[in-house]
Structures are given as structure tokens and as C-alpha cells.
Structure 1
Amino acid sequence: MEKLIKPLSGYLALLMAIVLMLLAIVFFVQADGSPWYIFGGILFLIAALFLLKGLMIINPNHSRVLNFFGRYVGTVKENGLFFVNPLYSTLNVSLRLDNLQGQTLKVNDKMGNPIEIGAVIVWQVGDTYKSTYDVTNYTSYVNTQSEAAVRHLAGSFPYDNLEVDSNNEESITLREGGEMVNQILERELSDRLAPAGILIKEARISHLAYASEIAGAMLQRQQATAIVAARAKIVEGAVGMVEMALQKLSEKDIVVLDNEKKAAMVSNLMVVLCGEKAVSPVLNTGSLNQ
């Protein structure tokens, strides 16, 4: 588990290292063959190098994981110049946000139709201990698990409502799911990447389409569905208009129509209202009984 520590400021250690380096130079210059001066200069030089080894600079949105002979010591997330035990081994871990533009995957949706899907994921390291010690390479882990999550999402829902059972109006589709699909993807990514200490900031579907081999057929199907829906709406309106016309004629006693004449009138009105092309009117100058 991640443990945050606050090391000593490195400015005093840097000053001491500079002083020791100067003393070492002075001793070497004034040695004049004296073993004691040479020995003292060597000691000052070793001490200065020892202090310099313990200095570390941490830039903004970076951290250092400290390890002491195989034992995790802690993580430093503060920025600046610090001094730690020179025997510590340190590993730099970035805390900056990172984008993952996943490759476009060809998978099957819930109904078995081949589709192409891709996602953009924004992530960052949240737990440096897990990202360093619980997985081999957290960047590779993010790439692999993100692809697995996108594949699982694509196989969990149909591409669009053409494939949804008409009795289940609340079914989620990839094309119309919108924010709900993105939220589901974010939750799955968070669960998959939690063992690596990765936080998911945002995940969105960036590419979604039928695979090329069925794209043409699905486009025709969508067009046919749209035409049927439009026709149904036209017929529904036409029936209402015909009903209103017959009712008004009857109420105002403009003309008396028997069932046969009503049927002929309904047929003519439906042709006029539902036809795709403009009709040519025909004027009847004779009586209605002809």
C-alpha cells in the first residue's frame, strides 16, 4: 500500500557537499606529499559524493518511489529538491494525465454483427506502490486491459435499436447509449485497472461503425426502417384526415353518401394523401349518381 513520506530539504545537503568538495580541493593542493592531507582530501571527497548521491529533484506532477535493498520505504510526491538516504534506490513515476487513443477494433456486438469500435481514455497513476510493484509494466497493463474492456463493452450491447427486441424499449445500444455507455466503460476500466493503481478520469467511444463487409446491407436496412416508419406516420395522418372529411360532410349535410360512395371517396382520398407523386385532379361535371 502506498505510503507518503516527506524527506529533508536538499538545500542544506547541497551546501554541505559544496563545502566538502572545496575542503577536498584545498587538502589535495596543500598535501605536498603528506599522506594525512591526501587521506583527508579523499574522505572529504567521498563525503561530498555521498551527500550528492542522496539529492533528488522532483518536478511538478512527478513522484519518486523509494526502495531500500528490496524493501519499499515510501513515496515522495512533493516538488522540489530533497535529501534522502543515499543508499535508497529511487524510481521516477509520472502523475500527469495521459491519453490513450486505442486502436480501432473489429469485434462482434451482442447480436453477432461485426462492428468497428475505438475509445479514448484519460488516465493517471493514483497509487504508486501498486503501479510499481503489483504489475510488471503499468503502461502496458493499461493498454491491454483497456482493449479488453472495449471488447467486452462491444459484446455486451447491440449496435443500434434495429437489433433490440421490440418488447424491451429500455435496452441500451452502443449507438444511442451516449453518456450511459461511456459511464459503463469508465466503471469497467476502473475495476480492471484498480490492481495497477490507475485512476480513470474519462473514457469515451471515439469510433463506432458497422464493419465494411456489412455496412452496405445495414445502411439499406436502416433506410428501409426509416421509410416504413415514415409511411406509417403518413397513413396514420391520412386516416385521420379522411375520417374528419367524412364527419364534416355528414355534420353539415353537404352531400349524402351511401356506403359504396364513401368507400370510393375514402379510396380516392387515401391515394391522394399517401401517394408519392402529385395527382392530377379530375372534375366531375355530372351528377353523383352517374
Structure 2
Amino acid sequence: MKKIFKVILFSLLSLFLIFGAAIAIFFYKISYGFPVSYETEKPAISFPQNQSAVLIFSKTTGFRHGESIEASLPVFTEMGKRNGWFIYQTEEGGVFNPEQLKQFKAVIFNNSTGRVLNDEQQQALSQYVEAGGALLGIHGAGDNSHNWNWYEQNLLGTRFSHHPINPQFQKSDVHVESSADTAFTQGLPQSWVHEDEWYIFNSQPKGAQIISYINGDNINPNGNILWTKNKNFGMGPYHPVAWNRSVGKGKAFYTSMGHSNEVWQDTNFVHLVENALQWSMK
């Protein structure tokens, strides 16, 4: 009897340890990603003449917003057709070399999470932006999994803290900032209702021009889960959800909206992203 009890106790303890290890690995992956490899081979790209080129980069080594990424790709394709852009979509980091990057008018980190570029590729991207290129980030591109100071300082100007857990998705009115560049706000209503996983940052983005915001007091910001505590705070009534900034001679744009596939059916959200791309190419 004692032997059976010991076997049961050992089995339960083993299951508990396995479960705990799985949870720890999950949170580590969200925070830091697991870069398996860095692609270094330059892809063969035929850049059409007289067309501005846009690089859509969707590689992930952290949490993957797979449904949003898949839903976004045909939207970007149609966006390219409307504007006469050459859209190059990839999850291969080999394209981040000085020779090919300079062929693109803009680079979008499309829910790209974790460390996705090696040191040389990161340097190529930062030099590309500072020399006059444009970097745009959508949702997961702004979490804290990239472990790259230049990226965090120049794309975000702040640091991701958490997102709400229960409920994870909430509706809120997205307000257009009256002082925002009209290049971003053209064709948008002064406010619209949008449902998303609202990212909460530790501070307002520094050195940025706010484009749109929500009233953070109207959502439940509680992000406490298991041993992750002290995440029951928000950003108050002025909670930015899209902003732009200058980076050297270049430009950066970020929106924390964009978690699910449904956001790509929100015509106002898509219009905001399209406006941002048009702005980045001027």
C-alpha cells in the first residue's frame, strides 16, 4: 500500500514539475524568444522599376500572432495594388543586408516577435533607418521580446509592460489626436470603436508624435497571472495606441493595435496603416 502511495505521489510531483517547467518555458519564450537560426543568405529579388518597394517581415521567435499575420498578408497585397507598390513578404532574415535594404522605401515588422536578426542584420537595419529609411511596427513588434536597445528606443520610445488577461480583448473608442500629422489622419473619423488586446507600456512614448489613443480608464488593465504580479495598472485617460517619430534622417511608426485576424477587417485600422506607409515614403 505504501509503495502504491509513493508511486502516486511521485507521479503527481513529476506532473507538477513538468507543468511548472512548461509554464516557465512559455513565459521565457514570450519575453525573450528562442532564436533557432538566423538566415544569412541573400534572397533573389527582382525589384520592379518605377515602383516603391515595401518589405513585410513576419518572422517570429517569441509569441506568434499567426492568425493576424496570415490575415494581414492579402491586405498588404491589395494595399500594394492600390498604391502601385512592390510588396515583398518574407520571414527570412537574409534580406537585412545593406545592398538590398536600400532598395526598400519602408520595412514593416508585422507582428514580428523575439530576436529575429543577428548582430550584423540589426546593424544594417538601424543604419538603413538612420540614413533615411522607414521602420513600421505592428502590435507584437512592440512587446519586450526583441532584446535590442536601439529598436526599443527608436521604434517605441517606451517599454512594454503587459496586456489585460481577463478579459484579454476589449472594445474601446480609438480617438484621433487633433495635433497629429494629417498624413496619418486623412480619411479617418475622429473616433471609432475597435476591439483589441490593448498593450500597456511603462510610460508615454518619449519623443513621439501621438496619432491615436484610447481612454485607458475605460478598460480593465489587469494583467496579473500566476506568479506575474503587480500588473494591475494602466496608462490612464491618455493611452496612446499609435505614434510616429523621427530617427536620424529616417522615420518610425508603431501601433499597438493588431493582435487578431479580425483587426484586418477593420477598415479604419487598415486605413491608418496605409496612411502610415504613404507617409513613410514621402
TM-score by length of 1: 0.18
Q: Which has the higher helix share?
A: 1
Structure with the greater alpha carbon radius of gyration? 1
Higher RCO (Cα < 8 Å, 6 or more apart): 2
TM-score by length of 2: 0.19
